Amino acid sequence: IMSGEILRQIFEALGPKLKDAQSTEKKKGKVLLGTVAGDIHDIGKDVVKFMLDVNGFDVLDLGVDVPHEKFIESLKEFKPKVLALSGFLTLAFDSMKEIIQKINEAGLRDKVKIMIGGGTLDERIVEYVDADAYGDSAVDAVNLATKWMEG
């Protein structure tokens, strides 16, 4: 908890300075980000958000314990090219699977690339939830988003 608070303070101190330095640059693209329903862990998600921000992406962070309805609504309104689902607990697997199923049912799956990340996730979970990729770090998230925006 303490490390999370320290991290938030660093983001608050550096964020405005970095955003000012980038204000004239064109954004690389939109990324929708959130921790899935049933999970309230946010440190990893917040690091990914920070890294995407400082690398020139327009990031909408939905927060933690986000239900599938909020992801669908935000996909329709924000229209990102990338969706990043975060989850630390094993119960996140089923939440991620449900979110992606609902995205399919809403007819939005072909409009967005989906990456997943979190402490208990790996490549096997990508297949289980039907995501496009797994990132093991915030750097992986930036690299995937960059690749997908360019491709």
> Higher model confidence: residue 58 or residue 1?
58
* Span between the terminal Cα atoms of the chain, in Å: 38
pLDDT value of residue 32: 99
The answer to the question of residue 80 being in a domain is yes
The answer to the question of residue 11 being in a domain is no
Is 109:142 a contact under the CB 8 Å cutoff?
no
Q: Which residues pair with 84 in a beta bridge?
A: 33, 115
Residues 128-151 have a mean pLDDT of 96
Query: Which range has the worst mean pLDDT, 12-16, 107-111, 147-151?
Result: 12-16
The answer to the question of residue 15 being in a domain is no
Query: Which range has the worst mean pLDDT, 59-63, 98-102, 121-125?
Result: 121-125
The answer to the question of residue 2 being in a domain is no
| pLDDT tens digits along 29-40 | 999 999 999 999
Domain region containing 76: 29-150
The answer to the question of residue 110 being in a domain is yes
Look up the pTM and report it. 0.88
Residues 57-71 have a mean pLDDT of 98
Count of domains observed in the chain: 1
Q: What is the CATH number of the domain that holds 111?
A: 3.40.50.280
Mean pLDDT of the chain: 91
The answer to the question of residue 13 being in a domain is no
